[in-house]
C-alpha cells in the first residue's frame, strides 16, 4: 500500500455557517485544479456529499489525494465513531480516509447557528475514560484499514499526555488553531517532541468566523504592523505571510477560500519564497495569545469561562480520569 506523504497545505471546508455546500464544493473543484491535494473535511460541516461529488468527477487518482475527516461531538463512543467514519466515506465516495480526527475532546454539541450564550444542559467537562472509548473506535478504524492515520483536534497538552499514556495507537497529527498572533509555542514544542504533526486551522485569523467566535479583544493577524511590513517587503498579501509563517514553523495550514485568486495565492505562498530565519524571529513578537475559536458553546453547567476548555494552568478543568 503506497502511503501518501501529508501535503504542505490543505484546503479548509468549514463554511462558518454562511457558505453553502454547493459553493464549498465548487471551491474544492477550483482548489484541485490549482494543485491542492489535501482537503480538510468534517461531518459537522454538512457538505461532504457535495464535496464527494466533486472528488468523484475529478481525474485525480485517489492515491494522490489526502482526505481528512472528523467525528463530531454527537458521535463519540466506539461504535458511533466507526459509524461516523463510514458515513463520511460514503458521502466522500472513498473507501478510506487518509486522516480521521476527533473534532473536539468533549461530547458536547450545539445546534447549527447557536448563539454564543447557548448551553447544552447535557454538556460535560473532559472525561478521560469516555474519551478513551472514543479513541478505541479510532484505533479500530486504523486497524481495519478504513483510515490510514488517526488524530485529534482542539486538544491541550494536559489531555494529550493522558491520551499518549493510555493509547495503543498514537495520534499521527493534531489539528489546532494556529496563526501568527496565536502561535501556541509550548504546545507545538510538546507535539514536536512527541512526533505529532501540527495542522493549523484558521491560519489567516479566520476573518469571516461566526459571530459567536468574536470578541472586542480579538486581534487581526492580517493587519498586524509586522505582518503588513513583511507583506510589503515580499510583495504579497498579508495572508501569504501568515501561511509562510506556518510553513516556516513546520505547520500544515488549511486556509479556506471561495475565491480562485485567493486559493491560488495561498497555494503559492507555501511553495515559493519562504521567510528567512530572521523574519520568522521577527514574527515571534506578533504572538499575543489571541485565541479566536474559543468554544464557548461547548461549556458545561458550572464552567466559568471559555478558558475552562483550554487547561491554561496545565490541569484539566473540571475533568475526571
Ligand atoms: N478542527 C477545528 O475545530 C477547526 C476549527 C475551525 C476551522 N477548521 C478548519 O480550518 C479551516 C480554515 O479556518 P477558517 O475558515 O476559520 O479561517 P481562515 O482560513 O483563517 O480564513 C478564511 C477566510 O479568509 C479569507 N481568505 C482566504 N484567503 C485569503 C487571501 N489570500 N486574502 C484575503 N483573504 C483570504 C476567506 O475569504 P474568501 O473566501 O473571500 O477568500 C475566508 O473567509 C476551516 O475551513 C476548517 O476546515 C477546523
Q: What is the pLDDT of residues 5-36, one digit of tens each?
A: 999 999 999 987 789 999 999 999 999 999 99
Please give the pLDDT value at position 1.
65
The preferred substitution site among 42, 103, 106, 202 for testing ligand 1, maximizing ligand atoms within 8 Å of CB, is 202
Q: Would residue 317 count as lying in a domain?
A: no
Model pLDDT for residues 234-268, shown as the tens digit of each residue: 999 999 999 999 999 999 999 999 999 999 999 99
Please give the pLDDT value at position 320.
67
| Residues involved in catalysis | 45
Query: How far, in Å, is the centroid of ligand 1 from the Cα of 129?
Result: 33
Please give the pLDDT value at position 159.
98
Q: Please give the span between the terminal C-alpha atoms of the chain, in angstroms, as a whole number.
A: 38
Q: Would residue 315 count as lying in a domain?
A: no
Ligand 1 touching residue 119 (CB < 6 A): no
Ligand 1 touching residue 40 (CB < 6 A): yes
Model pLDDT for residues 110-136, shown as the tens digit of each residue: 777 777 777 788 999 999 999 999 999
Please report the atom of ligand 1 found closest to the CA of residue 154. 3
Q: Would residue 321 count as lying in a domain?
A: no
Average pLDDT over residues 87-92: 98
The preferred substitution site among 36, 256, 260, 292 for testing ligand 1, maximizing ligand atoms within 8 Å of CB, is 256
- For the cut 80, the answer to whether the pLDDT of residue 232 exceeds it is yes
Domain count, the chain: 1
How do beta strands 147-153 and 66-71 pair? unpaired
Please report the atom of ligand 1 found closest to the CA of residue 240. 31
Under the banding of pLDDT at 50, 70 and 90, the label for residue 321 is low
Structural domain boundaries enclosing 148? 11-309
Contact 294, 306 (CB under 8 A): yes
Report CA-CA distances (Å) from 96 to 157, 244, 321.
Answer: 29, 30, 32
Q: Would residue 318 count as lying in a domain?
A: no
Q: Would residue 314 count as lying in a domain?
A: no
- The CATH number linked to 99 is 3.20.20.100
- Calpha distance 125→168 (Å, rounded): 24
Beta partners for residue 179, in sequence order: 182
Query: How far, in Å, is the centroid of ligand 1 from the Cα of 172?
Result: 23
Ligand 1 touching residue 221 (CB < 6 A): no
Q: Would residue 4 count as lying in a domain?
A: no
- For the cut 80, the answer to whether the pLDDT of residue 171 exceeds it is yes
What global pTM score does this model have? 0.97
Ligand 1 touching residue 122 (CB < 6 A): no
Q: Would residue 3 count as lying in a domain?
A: no
Amino acid at each position: 500500500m503506497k502511503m501518501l506523504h501529508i501535503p504542505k497545505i490543505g484546503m479548509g471546508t468549514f463554511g462558518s455557517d454562511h457558505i453553502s455546500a454547493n459553493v464549498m464544493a465548487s471551491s474544492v473543484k477550483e482548489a484541485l485544479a490549482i494543485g491542492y491535494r489535501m482537503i480538510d473535511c468534517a461531518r459537522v460541516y454538512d457538505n461532504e456529499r457535495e464535496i464527494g461529488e466533486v472528488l468523484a468527477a475529478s481525474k485525480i487518482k485517489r492515491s494522490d489525494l489526502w482526505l481528512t475527516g472528523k467525528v463530531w461531538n454527537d458521535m463519540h463512543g466506539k461504535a458511533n465513531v466507526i459509524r461516523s467514519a463510514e458515513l463520511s466515506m460514503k458521502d466522500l465516495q472513498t473507501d478510506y480516509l487518509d486522516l480521521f480526527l476527533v473534532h473536539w475532546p468533549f461530547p458536547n454539541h450545539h445546534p447549527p447557528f447557536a448563539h454564543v450564550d447557548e448551553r447544552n444542559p447535557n454538556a460535560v467537562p473532559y472525561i478521560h475514560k469516555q474519551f478513551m472509548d472514543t479513541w478505541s473506535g479510532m484505533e479500530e478504524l486504523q486497524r481495519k484499514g478504513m483510515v490510514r492515520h488517526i488524530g485529534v483536534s482542539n486538544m491541550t497538552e494536559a489531555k494529550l499526555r493522558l491520551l499518549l499514556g493510555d493509547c495503543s495507537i498514537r495520534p499521527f497529527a493534531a489539528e489546532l488553531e494556529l496563526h501568527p498572533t496565536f502561535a501556541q509555542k509550548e504546545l507545538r514544542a510538546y507535539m514536536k517532541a512527541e512526533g505529532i504533526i501540527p495542522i493549523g486551522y484558521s491560519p489567516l485569523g479566520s476573518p469571516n468566523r461566526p459571530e459567536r467566535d468574536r470578541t472586542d479583544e480579538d486581534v487581526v493577524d492580517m493587519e498586524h504592523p509586522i505582518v503588513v511590513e513583511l507583506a510589503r517587503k515580499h510583495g504579497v498579501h498579508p495572508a501569504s505571510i501568515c501561511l509562510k509563517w506556518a510553513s516556516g514553523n513546520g505547520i500544515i495550514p488549511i486556509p479556506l477560500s471561495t475565491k480562485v485568486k485567493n486559493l491560488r495565492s495561498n497555494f503559492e505562498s507555501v511553495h515559493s519564497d519562504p521567510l528567512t530565519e530572521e523574519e520568522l524571529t521577527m514574527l515571534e513578537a506578533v504572538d499575543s495569545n489571541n485565541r479566536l475559536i474559543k468554544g464557548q458553546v461547548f461549556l458545561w453547567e458550572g464552567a466559568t469561562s471559555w478558558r475552562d476548555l483550554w487547561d491554561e494552568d496545565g490541569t484539566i478543568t473540571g475533568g475526571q480520569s
